Amino acid sequence: MSSSELSDAGQVPIDHAVPPPSARAAGGIAARRERASGGWALLGSEISVMFRRWRTWAMLGALAAIPLLIAIAVRVTGGSSRGPAFLSEITSNGLFVAFTALVVCVPLFLPLTIGVVAGDTIAGEASHGTLRYLVIAPAGRLRLLAVKYAGCAVFCIAAALVVGLAGTLIGMLLFPIGPVTLLSGVQVSMGDAYLRLLLIALYIVVSLLGLCAIGLFLSTLTDVPVGAMAATAVLAVVSQVLDQLPQLDGLHPWLFSHYWLGFGDFLRDPISWDSFGDNALLQLGYIVVFGALAVGRFTTKDILS
């Protein structure tokens, strides 16, 4: 009997039959796996594109040049007791080149590069006319926001590690290397010092995550990436200026830059985790608030390009 005859008889043809529950469940699991794998693929693509750009490598190169300039200046002049923290210790131990470079980079250079990357997340795609293609399935708007933020966080890790690694290498080449005397007066081995340097890099990465969320939100407000980049960098400077005004003492603990230089606690013995905990909690608050604002804005935004 043909399919049409079965249909006339009130029976469901085999090729139009409703799949059994087990088949539907298997299909749902496969779809979820496909979406999950698509999310990781999108993140991998985002990171790959980021590190294929000349702009990214130019910014990382500029960050690596800062400890190089510091080391050369100290080598030529013989050092000075004035200047950034740890500068006077460089001549006796080259590892302090990395510590000094991180102190120098945190207030301006790292926020500037993060502002460029975060401000370009969504606005850059819109300006290139590729945003509408990214928000369709299987990406979606929420997943795209998460991937863009994760990519910005990866750049934070790369930037902090570049400064620390470049400072360590140039310090080893130009100055003697040995056990490090901490701020508390205790001397630790080089292995311990390297571990503390990694902890400081981790602290700085956590410090910049709130700024990443702010930049992501600003990037959803415009199709001009330069505007979002500039606004993110300016907010970082304004926050630090406000943090220096004694008249605003009550506001200081709420500023996202308030704990940026608190990593000195990792150079004490024993290590104090108070600043790290306070900083992580503050950055989490900024991530939640500005992440929610970015989601609210981006999910209701008319995407025309």
7 inside domain: no
Domain range spanning residue 77? 46-299
Angle at 291 (CA atoms; ends 289, 295), nearest 5 degrees: 120
Q: What is the pLDDT of residue 304?
A: 63
31 inside domain: no
- 188 bridge partner residues: 180
Query: Which residues have a Cβ under 8 Å from the Cβ of 19 and sit 6 or more positions away?
Result: 27
- 10 bridge partner residues: none
CA atoms within 13 A on the CB side of 92: 9
State the Cα–Cα distance between residues 248 and 97, nearest whole angstrom.
34
pLDDT digits (tens, 9 = 90+) for 186-234: 999 999 999 999 999 999 999 999 999 999 999 999 999 999 999 999 9
35 inside domain: no
Coil, strand, or helix at residue 79? Answer: coil
82 inside domain: yes
Helices (H) and strands (E) counted in the chain, each on its own, are 11, 2
Q: Which residues of the chain have pLDDT under 70?
A: 1-39, 79-81, 83, 137-139, 304-305
Number of domains in the chain: 1
Distances (CA, A) of 104 to 141, 211, 250, 282: 37, 18, 26, 22
11 inside domain: no
pLDDT digits (tens, 9 = 90+) for 12-52: 444 445 556 554 444 445 444 545 555 688 889 899 999 99
Q: Give me 233's structure tokens.
A: 């960098």
Q: What is the pLDDT of residue 21?
A: 55
Q: What is the pLDDT of residue 302?
A: 78
Are the C-beta atoms of residues 290 and 217 closer than 8 Å to each other?
Answer: yes
Cis ω for the linkage preceding 246 (within 30 of 0) = no
Coil, strand, or helix at residue 181? Answer: strand
Among candidate residues 126, 125, 118, 146, the one with its CA nearest the CA of residue 40 = 146
264 inside domain: yes
134 inside domain: yes
Using the 8-state DSSP alphabet, how is residue 259 labeled? T
Q: What is the pLDDT of residue 13?
A: 47
189 inside domain: yes
Phi first, then psi: what are they for 137, rounded to 5°?
-60, 145
Are the C-beta atoms of residues 241 and 108 closer than 8 Å to each other?
Answer: no
Q: What letters, b where the CB count within 10 A reaches 16 and e where it falls short, cover 55-94?
A: ebeebbeebbebbbebbeebbeeebeeebebbbbbbbebb
- 187 bridge partner residues: 181
Q: What is the pLDDT of residue 41?
A: 84
